[in-house]
Structure 1
């Protein structure tokens, strides 16, 4: 199939484009940076330099490629260091998730592209009820104020892509880790800058970067429209996974802070995720996409990542 991949030089795109090419697909891949064109060509794609917020340019590029599938992976997270002010950190990405999504959907309509696969996140789930969520569970109606615009942008993709594209799919990735995807996480653990806050009772779901790319490839080829959790098999509380990551990284055990002290230091969003976060189930993706993670647990995935 002809596949148009946006954000193709990002952490996930760097694995997805070669995977699509190896599977026999004809790939057109975008970047905002002319200096990255050669990298895309080496990965087997036809490169296009385009800004996802330039509506006319996006429509022209998609119409020229005439893709059967569009994959939306546009983000702007290279400088992410702290999450004390989430909406400031994600401001550019939020634009890509709203205006950028609208531009791609308009382009898909003009090009006759039925299938659109977009990046979502499992942070949308309500921080109440059971510890492990399925796709039909309620989403968060009371986001932390410092993250309200970011959560709204994720919800926008969640809602708009399946409603607008004839075959719209949103992949709710868990916390992505692996080379190039979360180097700040290991760096923070080694510097003891990432403490367990408030008992670490929040549940997290992870997904290794190549597993996320494999799920995206599966969604290009099959699966009914809708949303899918793309996570491993092992949701776990912060108090379990964070000390384990420190151990395999050769770091000292993480510090422990009460929630009241964590708020001014790390921000309300981080405290909420560490104390109230909810994991999610991948059963729907396994069944309908015919996908399963190579790293069934973050335990083995963390070991391979840090030692690699």
Structure 2
């Protein structure tokens, strides 16, 4: 197939494009900078510069590529786009990604409709943001938590927009867990080694992780099978912060993280961080396994962290 990967030079795109190429697909991958065109071409794709927030730029790029499927992997969470991570002011820090998940999604869907692209796959998110009711592990049937009246709300509402818009168009949304793998957790590991990544309270909040290569392989299956609907793309091992953070520190050769009370974390890092570490919900990958026939190469972050940081 001809596959158009919007955001092909990003942290996931650079793992996805080679997998698509290896399976015989013709890939056009976008980047926001001419300086990255050579890198995209080294991955095996035809590179194109595109501004995901400019409907004319998006329309021209899609029309020229004539794809069979559009894959939306555009985010703005890199240092170049969003600056240093600032979870205390989550709404400000995530604004570039919010716009790409609202305006950018709409521009890509409009371009797909205008040029007759029959299938669409988009990036979603499933880490700590399941509804904070009932059990600690959520399925696709459980709603995402919109975190209303908190700085996380605009970003959560943007995720809802992606899911509503893409599924209404007959596409698939891949709710990826927290990424780890080449280039995905470098900033977190630096903080862990400096003992600047504390554990909040009892660390009871759950998270779900996914290795970049596993996220890419699930996406390839969704593309090839013309999947529809929402899929949690996470590993087999949702776990509380009290388990994964000390393990990450041990794998990084760092001392055990310090523990701070929620009231202090709220002052230092904001409510979103406290919620993540004390109330977050993990996710189940049963649907993706069942309907896509997907099996993660790294079934647990326990193995993945150890291998990646050895």
Structure 1 position 103 matched with structure 2 position 107: yes
2:11 corresponds in structure 1 to 11
Distance between the aligned counterparts of 1:89 and 1:141, measured in 2? 17
Trace 1:27-46 onto structure 2 (pairs within 5 A): 27-46=27-46
2:50 corresponds in structure 1 to 50
2:297 corresponds in structure 1 to 294
Distance between the aligned counterparts of 1:105 and 1:264, measured in 2? 41
* Cα distance, 1:183 vs structure 2: 1.0
Once superposed, which parts of structure 1, at least 4 consecutive aligned residues long, lie more than 2 Å away? 141-144
Matched positions, count: 305
2:97 corresponds in structure 1 to 93
1:190 corresponds in structure 2 to 193
99-108 vs 37-46, greater mean Cα deviation: 37-46
Contact 1:223/1:288 (<8 A) preserved: no
Contact 1:28/1:45 (<8 A) preserved: yes
Contact 1:118/1:169 (<8 A) preserved: yes
Contact 1:223/1:289 (<8 A) preserved: no
* Cα distance, 1:129 vs structure 2: 1.2
2:232 corresponds in structure 1 to 229
Trace 1:1-308 onto structure 2 (pairs within 5 A): 1-79=1-79, 80-122=84-126, 123-143=128-148, 145-163=150-168, 165-166=169-170, 168-222=171-225, 224-307=227-310
Distance between the aligned counterparts of 1:102 and 1:37, measured in 2? 25
Contact 2:176/2:232 (<8 A) preserved: yes
Deviations 1:33-71 (A, max 9, x none): 000101111111111111001101111111111111100
| Structure 2 portions without partners, runs of 5+ | none
SS of the counterpart of 1:29?
strand
Q: CA RMSD in A?
A: 1.1
Distance between the aligned counterparts of 1:68 and 1:226, measured in 2? 18
Distance between the aligned counterparts of 1:169 and 1:62, measured in 2? 18
Distance between the aligned counterparts of 1:135 and 1:121, measured in 2? 11
* Cα distance, 1:135 vs structure 2: 0.1
* Cα distance, 1:141 vs structure 2: 4.3
Structure 1 residues 256 and 233: alpha-carbon distance in aligned structure 2, compared to 1, 3 A threshold:
same
Distance between the aligned counterparts of 1:50 and 1:41, measured in 2? 15
Distance between the aligned counterparts of 2:284 and 2:149, measured in 1? 23
Structure 1 residues 179 and 152: alpha-carbon distance in aligned structure 2, compared to 1, 3 A threshold:
same
SS of the counterpart of 2:159?
helix
Contact 2:129/2:281 (<8 A) preserved: no
SS of the counterpart of 1:127?
coil
* Cα distance, 1:188 vs structure 2: 1.2
Distance between the aligned counterparts of 1:17 and 1:278, measured in 2? 30
Contact 2:146/2:153 (<8 A) preserved: no
* Cα distance, 1:144 vs structure 2: 5.5
Distance between the aligned counterparts of 2:263 and 2:249, measured in 1? 23
Contact 1:124/1:155 (<8 A) preserved: no
| Structure 1 portions without partners, runs of 5+ | none
Deviations 1:80-103 (A, max 9, x none): 423111111110111000000000
Distance between the aligned counterparts of 1:124 and 1:60, measured in 2? 35
